[in-house]
Chains A and B, each alone.
Chain A
Amino acid sequence: MFDSKLLAESLLGQVTEALGTNSLLIGIETGGVVVLGYLIKELDIDVAFASVDVSFHRDDFEIRGLAKSKKSTSIDVVLDGRDVILVDDVIQSGRTARAAVNEIYDFGRPKTVQLATLVDRGGRELPMEPQFVGGFVDVPDSQKIAVRLDKNKELEVYVV
């Protein structure tokens, strides 16, 4: 349904170009971490990376309570002064990205924060725009899409 390979290679190309010695890639649990894993595997250079779980900063806590999550934020490097690229699978409202920015600020003050997503499905509700996008997809609002690894360990965008 989606050309996952094209999306992945497009994102990889853009991120590769943006990386520098001060870069820190941070995957957003759980889909963003899958995409991050792909990027790290495909990149020719060693790059610092970490992961964030955004449960504690979600804005729907009042409505839905805490999401069940066994994941937690893991930032074992110094964040202050780094050029962070947040990595997520899908962007829609922008609320997850907002929560991720708040989460990383609990750990320090990065120099810059950029956002890379494999898929942009439109429908923004907050002023959060990714600098790097694998591609745009048009799916009905009722459909949820996500990213997983297929049997060949390649990224696959699928309808949940």
Chain B
Amino acid sequence: MTDDIQINDGGTLRHLLTLENLSGELVSEILDRAQNFLSIGDRKTKKLPLLRGRSVFNLFFENSTRTRTTFEIAAKRLSADVVNLNIATSSQSKGESLLDMIDNLVAMQADMFVVRHAQSDAANMIARHVPKGIHIINAGAGSHSHPTQGLLDAFTIRHFKKDFTGLKIVIIGDILHSRVARSQIHVLKALGVHEIRVVGPETLVPESLSEMGVSVYNDVDSAIKGADVVTTLRLQNERMEVSLVPSVQQFHKDYGLTKERLALAHPEAIVLHPGPINRGVEIASEVADGPQAVILRQVTFGIAVRMAVMSLLQD
């Protein structure tokens, strides 16, 4: 038995809510499974029967094109029926009314919920609420976590770099409010990466982040130096509104990933970005379109990783 609601009695995943405290062994199992699923794109019949007859409900309380679409493709390749609910504009998406809504969907015989919500504990709340046999996947929760993004980042890194232990990885941008950064840090720690550097404006990369086991840098050039993997994060407009960043132009000048900056990294370094990219803000076009960027590969890998997660959840 375990108190962790995302782990079942057999020690494997019942839900996927967070990468925090997930063992390297479980993470590796997901990545191995995703590797197997990657090749079904080469088959004549790009469909497997694993979730045949199951109903997957995509509950997106925040807008997302890429994540929702890749979850939908993943579920369909596993033969599930997919129902998309876009509830971004609904005002009654909190507290009790959320659970009332879930009860109604459970009454419609839902088998799996893929949940994106601004509230960081929404997916957990649903997971604690639903009866046995129904599985929850967190598809992005507030500024807290985005586990499948962390897993696809890890999958992408493993695809190009094989061994994690000796890697130098740098994450640039708004680390404080980034669920992508948090999830990537958790998964990389679980996989044994020793050197994770974070860098960005002081307001967005406070010294206290070192409690997560990462090295906080002030100077972007020294953070990039010798790195094997460079992750740039999207600069979110809402941060601009509350003046955490002086201006877009200044941000690009200070922290944007330019060709010149990237040249400081290892010559075979890869560039990751969770998308959507702001060209000329956190990343220069010539880097985003350059040979070291693997941003579109991340999208393709995301389908295989989401198939892996969906197929591994059990009671």
Chain A residues proximal to chain B, CB less than 8 Å: 53, 55-57, 61, 65-66, 68-70, 72-73, 102, 105-108
Select A66's contact among B35, B44, B49, B312, beta carbons within 8 Å: B312
In the assembled complex, B48 has its CB within 8 A of some CB on chain A = yes
Assuming the contacts A105-B45, A106-B43, A107-B44, asked whether A70 and B32 have C-beta atoms less than 8 A apart, the reply is yes
Proximity string of chain B (20-36) to chain A, C-beta cutoff 8 Å, 1 when within and 0 when not: 00000000010011011
Select A106's contact among B33, B44, B314, beta carbons within 8 Å: B44
Assuming the contacts A69-B36, A70-B32, asked whether A61 and B44 have C-beta atoms less than 8 A apart, the reply is no
Kindly provide the distance from the CB of A29 to the nearest chain B CB, expressed in whole angstroms: 11
The 8 closest A-B pairs by CB, nearest first: A106-B45, A65-B314, A56-B48, A72-B36, A106-B43, A66-B311, A70-B32, A107-B43
B-side interface residues, number (CB < 8 Å): 18
- Contact yes or no, A72 B33, CB < 8 A: no
Assuming the contacts A53-B36, A72-B35, asked whether A65 and B312 have C-beta atoms less than 8 A apart, the reply is yes
Bound state CA distance, A146 and B36, in angstroms?
A: 24
Kindly provide the distance from the CB of A126 to the nearest chain B CB, expressed in whole angstroms: 16
Select B33's contact among A61, A66, A73, A105, beta carbons within 8 Å: A66
- Contact yes or no, A57 B45, CB < 8 A: no
Return chain B residues, CB-CB under 8 Å to A53: 36
- Contact yes or no, B29 A61, CB < 8 A: no
Task: Known pairs A66-B311, A70-B35, A106-B40; list 5 more (Cβ under 8 Å).
Answer: A56-B40, A56-B50, A102-B49, A107-B45, A108-B44
Return chain B residues, CB-CB under 8 Å to A72: 35-36, 39
Bound state CA distance, A105 and B45, in angstroms?
A: 8
Docked complex: B29-73 residues within 8 A CB-CB of A: 29, 32-33, 35-36, 39-40, 43-45, 47-50
Bound state CA distance, A105 and B47, in angstroms?
A: 11
Return chain B residues, CB-CB under 8 Å to A57: 48-49
Bound state CA distance, A61 and B12, in angstroms?
A: 15
Assuming the contacts A106-B45, A107-B44, asked whether A66 and B39 have C-beta atoms less than 8 A apart, the reply is no
Closest-by-CB residue of B relative to A72 is B36
Return chain B residues, CB-CB under 8 Å to A107: 43-45
Closest-by-CB residue of B relative to A58 is B50
Return chain A residues, CB-CB under 8 Å to B33: 66
Bound state CA distance, A108 and B42, in angstroms?
A: 12
Bound state CA distance, A65 and B308, in angstroms?
A: 12
- Contact yes or no, A61 B39, CB < 8 A: no
Closest-by-CB residue of A relative to B315 is A65
Return chain A residues, CB-CB under 8 Å to B12: 65
Bound state CA distance, A150 and B312, in angstroms?
A: 35
Bound state CA distance, A56 and B37, in angstroms?
A: 9
Bound state CA distance, A80 and B48, in angstroms?
A: 20
Bound state CA distance, A108 and B45, in angstroms?
A: 8
Select B36's contact among A55, A61, A105, A106, beta carbons within 8 Å: A55
Return chain A residues, CB-CB under 8 Å to B44: 106-108
